[in-house]
A and B are shown apart, each in its own frame.
Chain A
Amino acid sequence: MKGVILATAVSFYSLSCFAAAQQTFQVDSVTGAATWMTNQHGVNFSLTQILPQQAQAFYVNRGFTLKQIQSYATSCVFMTVLRNDNAPGTIHFVRKNWSVVIDGKSRRVLSTDHWLQQLKSNNIKKSALVAFRWAQFPSEQKYEPGGDWNQGMLTVGLAPGSVFDVIARWDIDGKPYTAKLQEVRCAN
Chain B
Amino acid sequence: MQTKSFVRTFIIFFAVIVFANGISYADGAPPLTHKLTKISQSIMAPALRFKNMDDEIVDIKDLRGKVVIVNFWATWCPPCRREMGSLERLHQATKDKNIVILAVNIGEDVDTVFPFMGTVEPSPSFPVLFDTDAAAMKPWNVNGLPTTYFIKPDGTIAYRAVGGREFDHPDILQKTIALAQ
Name the residue in A46, A141, A151 with the highest tally of chain B Cβ atoms < 10 Å from its Cβ: A151
Interface majority SS (helix, strand, loop, mixed), chain A? mixed
Q: Known contacts A127-B108, A131-B107, A151-B78; can you find 11 more A-B pairs with CB under 8 A?
A: A4-B10, A33-B27, A79-B27, A81-B27, A81-B29, A146-B33, A146-B35, A148-B35, A148-B161, A151-B25, A152-B144
- A46/B28 in contact, CB under 8 A: yes
- Residues in B with CB closer than 8 Å to A50 are 19, 23
Q: Given A127-B107, A141-B143, A151-B23, does the pair A133, B11 have CB atoms closer than 8 Å? A: no
Chain B residues at the A interface, C-beta cutoff of 8 Å:
7, 10-12, 14-17, 19-21, 23-35, 37, 74, 76-79, 106-109, 132-134, 137, 143-145, 161-165
A185 contacts the other chain (CB 8 A): no
**What residues of chain A have their CB less than 8 Å away from a CB belonging to chain B?**
3-4, 7-8, 11-12, 15-18, 26, 28, 30-31, 33, 35, 37, 44, 46, 48, 50, 53-54, 57-58, 60-62, 79, 81, 83, 85, 126-127, 130-131, 133-135, 137-144, 146-153
**In the complex, which of the residues A17, A62, A126, A146 contacts B133, with contact meaning CB atoms closer than 8 Å?**
A126
Which residues of A lie under 8 Å from residue B26 when comparing CB positions?
Answer: 11-12, 15-16, 28, 30
- The secondary structure that dominates the B interface is loop
The reply to whether B35 and A147 form a contact with Cβ atoms under 8 Å apart is: yes
Q: Report the minimal beta-carbon distance from B41 to chain A, rounded to whole angstroms.
A: 14
Cα-based distance from A137 to B132 in the complex (angstroms) = 20
Give the chain A neighbours of B7 by CB distance below 8 A: 3-4
B163 interface neighbour in A37, A62, A133, A147, Cβ under 8 Å: A147
